[in-house]
């Protein structure tokens, strides 16, 4: 009975602080962001339901950043509180080891790690699709001018270049179908999921005997020959970082992607596989300092140094991710080395708990 009480108490302490931090931080973010976007929401006729869903999906997108900070603050608050109130000392005097006392807290951490993996597989990809859908439904005219040129390799080996894919209308805007080096279609609006596929305002350029690409007015809007695999096309339309983990594993083994695309896929996959473990790292790193038995425990200094370390890690990781995406560095080195360094330090910190 005693064991059950203290375990529940420890679990409740850390979970309440973590969820409170998430709720407050996201409420502040949503309030500030809504203040900046309120005019746009009104101009583009967003309903209250759509605004609420928009910020819910943004939360699923940003949770990978917010959760490690929440666990860091919750861990320090819980461990310092248990230490200064002599609750840990009483349980240690009862014969429990310090590592054993950490089990309820570690259980909560591993539940959060599992939640992040679930979010990466289902929540995050769905949220990104819905964010694109809401933005395409209301901000389309504003978005089109800012989109870079993208490409998709079709089943027959031909190439599709496009300016933007409108998820609301399931159409490409400003697309070029490069059927071959001698035959190119310019399509103002291309509907790939219609049966058969068709386009609006289609211009066909064909190479003549002199090697010149000239407009052929007799073969406009002939797009039924395009061979499209809907699932494969979706994987190429959206960025690798927006794909589920299962899709990234599948895409990594596909040999048809270019070297540039493979770098993006590998980086996104390694990022999603390693980031959840940051929740465990931010718990273990400050733990020995929070559990130090002393009359003057400087909790404020622990908060400041731990938060600064996490922010610095995110900045370094973001820079290395950019280098990896542009193939300046290997994704395996850029993503894994920072986590390996923090992992080794965290393992050492966990080992130190035996000496406390």
Mean pLDDT of the chain: 90
Adjacency order of strands within the sheet including 183-191: 150-153, 159-166, 171-180, 183-191, 198-207, 213-215
First and final C-alpha spacing in the chain: 26
Does position 222 have pLDDT exceeding 80, yes or no?
Answer: no
Task: Note the Cα 323 to chain centre separation in Å.
Answer: 18
What average pLDDT score do residues 336-349 get? 93
Give the residue carrying structure tokens 């310019």.
186
Does position 318 have pLDDT exceeding 80, yes or no?
Answer: yes
Tell me which residue of 316, 356, 322 sits closest to 89, measured CA to CA: 356
Residues 265/257, Cβ–Cβ less than 8 Å: yes
**Distance between CA atoms of residues 79 and 293, nearest Å:** 11
Give the residue carrying structure tokens 């929740």.
279
**Distance between CA atoms of residues 152 and 192, nearest Å:** 12
> Each residue of 199-219: pLDDT tens digit?
888 888 888 888 888 888 766
**Distance between CA atoms of residues 56 and 35, nearest Å:** 16
Residues 104/91, Cβ–Cβ less than 8 Å: no
DSSP string, 260-301: HHHHHHHHHHHHHHHGGGHHHHHHHTTHHHHT---SS--HHH
**Distance between CA atoms of residues 277 and 268, nearest Å:** 15
Residues 72/302, Cβ–Cβ less than 8 Å: no
CB atoms within 10 A of CB 120: 24
Three-state DSSP state, 356: coil
What lies within 8 Å, CB to CB, of 243 at 6+ separation is: 125, 235, 251, 268
The answer to whether the peptide bond before residue 305 is cis (omega within 30 degrees of 0) is: no
Per-residue pLDDT band for 1 (boundaries 50, 70, 90) equals very low
Does position 103 have pLDDT exceeding 60, yes or no?
Answer: yes
State how far the alpha carbon of 94 is from the alpha carbons of 3, 89, 280, 293, in Å. Answer: 11, 9, 27, 17
> Each residue of 49-95: pLDDT tens digit?
999 999 999 999 999 999 999 999 999 999 999 999 989 989 988 88
Per-residue pLDDT band for 142 (boundaries 50, 70, 90) equals low
> Each residue of 255-292: pLDDT tens digit?
888 889 899 999 999 999 999 999 999 999 999 999 98
Give the residue carrying structure tokens 């289609």.
202
pTM above 0.95, yes or no: no
The per-residue pLDDT for 2 is 45
Does position 297 have pLDDT exceeding 50, yes or no?
Answer: yes
Does position 186 have pLDDT exceeding 80, yes or no?
Answer: yes
How many CA atoms does the CB half-sphere of 266 hold within 13 Å?
A: 23
What whole-number percentage of the chain has pLDDT above 90?
A: 58
> Each residue of 149-165: pLDDT tens digit?
888 888 888 899 998 89
Residues 61/127, Cβ–Cβ less than 8 Å: yes
């Amino acid at each position: 009975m005693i064991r059950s009480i203290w375990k529940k108490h420890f679990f409740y302490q850390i979970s309440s602080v973590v969820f409170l931090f998430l709720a407050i931080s996201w409420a502040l973010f949503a309030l500030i962001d809504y203040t900046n976007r309120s005019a746009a929401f009104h101009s583009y006729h967003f309903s209250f339901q759509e605004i609420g869903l928009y910020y819910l999906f943004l939360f699923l997108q940003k949770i990978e950043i917010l959760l490690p900070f929440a666990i860091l603050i919750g861990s320090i608050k819980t461990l310092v509180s248990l230490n200064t109130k002599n609750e840990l000392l009483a349980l240690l005097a009862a014969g429990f080891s310090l590592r054993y006392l950490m089990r309820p807290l570690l259980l909560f951490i591993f539940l959060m790690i599992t939640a992040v993996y679930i979010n990466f597989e289902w929540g995050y990809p769905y949220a990104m699709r819905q964010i694109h859908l809401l933005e395409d439904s209301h901000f389309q005219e504003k978005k089109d001018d800012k989109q870079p040129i993208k490409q998709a390799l079709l089943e027959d080996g031909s190439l599709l270049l496009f300016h933007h894919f409108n998820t609301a209308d399931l159409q490409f805007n400003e697309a070029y179908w490069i059927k071959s080096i001698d035959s190119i279609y310019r399509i103002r609006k291309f509907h790939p999921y219609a049966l058969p596929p068709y386009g609006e305002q289609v211009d066909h350029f064909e190479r003549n005997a002199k090697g010149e690409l000239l407009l052929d007015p007799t073969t406009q809007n002939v797009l039924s020959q395009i061979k499209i695999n809907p699932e494969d096309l979706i994987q190429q339309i959206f960025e690798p970082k927006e794909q589920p983990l299962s899709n990234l594993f599948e895409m990594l083994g596909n040999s048809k992607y270019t070297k540039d695309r493979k770098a993006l896929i590998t980086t996104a996959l390694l990022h999603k596989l390693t980031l959840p473990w940051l929740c465990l790292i931010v718990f273990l790193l400050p733990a020995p300092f929070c559990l130090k038995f002393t009359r003057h425990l400087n909790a404020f200094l622990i908060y400041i140094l731990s938060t600064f370390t996490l922010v610095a890690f995110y900045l370094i990781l973001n820079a290395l991710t950019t280098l990896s995406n542009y193939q300046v560095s290997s994704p395996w080195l850029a993503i894994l080395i920072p986590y390996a360094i923090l992992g080794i330090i965290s393992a050492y910190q966990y080992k130190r708990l035996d000496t406390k």
